Amino acid sequence: MTMDRHIINTRSLSSRLRLVGLIALLGFLASCSTSVQVDGEVPKLLIPAIDRSVLFVKPPSLDYTHNETLPRGGDWSIALGPMNDVFFRELLDSMFVSVAQTRVETDGLVGAGKQGLLADVDGQIRIDLVEYGFLTPQISGLNFFSASTKFRIELGGTDGQTLGVWQVVGYGKAEAGTFQAADAVNSATVLAIRDAGARIAIELPRQSFFQAWLEATR
């Protein structure tokens, strides 16, 4: 009887130690903080430039920093602004023969009253980041980190009127065993931004409102 009680007590102690260890591990993970400033290569798109001049309207949404606390992964802060800023200027420079840019703090396009900005262009393009998300292997159960972006593209005339609105989604992933967690999220996010950019370059000019603008500005 004494031996049985000893075995039971030993097993009980072992279970309690495992539980304490698990709680400590979860507490450690919850207390972790990871900061990522998204940065990556911006390849030059080898596409024929459209013979139009545009004003790139840059809203606050492109400077977005994503803050999220994961149940198993701690606090994350992911700054997309620097990458968005460089990438979309390069993208539009590749798509059009001439690009000017301005930063706005309000919704919508640049109004017709700001003729200094609109005098030498055929139209204006505003790009907003409307959604961003990422998943870690601990959350998804898969062996890679993933990220997704959604951008809203608004084409406008020199009179400040909206000619059309279109949304595009981009995806990216990075293998879990290849990178540290922060580097993997960075890589997946860069790929998601670039994927969305490639879709903009290929699919935006096919949209009916874009074709109508090209015809109207001949």
pLDDT tens-digit map of 144-186: 999 999 999 999 999 999 999 999 999 999 999 888 999 999 9
Residue 81, both tokens:
């602004």
**Edge to edge, what strands does the sheet with 33-37 contain?**
33-37, 74-79, 65-70
CB-based contact 72:138 (threshold 8 Å): yes
Residue 192, both tokens:
């998601």
Rg over alpha carbons for the chain, rounded to the nearest Å, is 25
Residue 160, both tokens:
């400040």
For residue 19, pLDDT beyond 90: no
**Domain extents in the chain:** 1-31, 33-216
CATH topology of domain 33-216: Rossmann fold (3.40.50)
CA distance 55 to 66: 27
The pTM assigned to this predicted structure is 0.84
Q: Residue 106: count other Cβ atoms within 10 Å of its Cβ.
A: 9
DSSP β-bridge partners for residue 168 = 151
